[in-house]
Amino acid sequence: MRRIVGLVLAGAGAVLMAHWYKREVLREGEGVVHLQSEHEHFHLHVDMPPGMEIQPGDTVEILEMPNLPEGRTQGEISFPSRIKLYKASWLRRTLIKRSSLVEVNELVEHP
């Protein structure tokens, strides 16, 4: 009986941790997108609305894109767009920060 209760509690804990990890908060606003998409390179920068800050684990979704001939720009273009920012949970943000530091250290220490 104790073993079954222990397994049920461990399973419940795992489910709660998974929900905590996947939890996101959605924020929306108007931003300005700076795009340069040419044969040699691709650059994208988003000026976020005031009060919106991107942190590790967050996801940005750009909702409006201009119609580009052949999917390329001639130099850089800037355009306004509605922005969705999915804020990661504290658990996901912390795990991503820790794993990123390990990966950067491996790159630096590699002979």
pLDDT higher for 111 or 38?
Answer: 38
Confidence band of 110 (pLDDT split at 50, 70, 90) = low
pLDDT in tens, 49-67: 998 999 988 999 999 988 8
Q: How far apart are CA 67 and CA 45, in angstroms?
A: 18
Is the pLDDT at 76 greater than 70? The verdict is yes
Confidence of residue 102 (pLDDT cuts 50, 70, 90): low
Comparison of pLDDT for 13 and 75, the residue scoring more: 13
Q: Rounded to an integer, what distance in angstroms lies between the CA atom of residue 42 and that of residue 95?
A: 29
More confident residue, 78 or 41: 78
**Mind listing the pLDDT tens digit for each residue in 79-96?**
999 999 999 999 999 988
Sheet holding 59-62, edge to edge: 42-47, 24-37, 77-88, 59-62
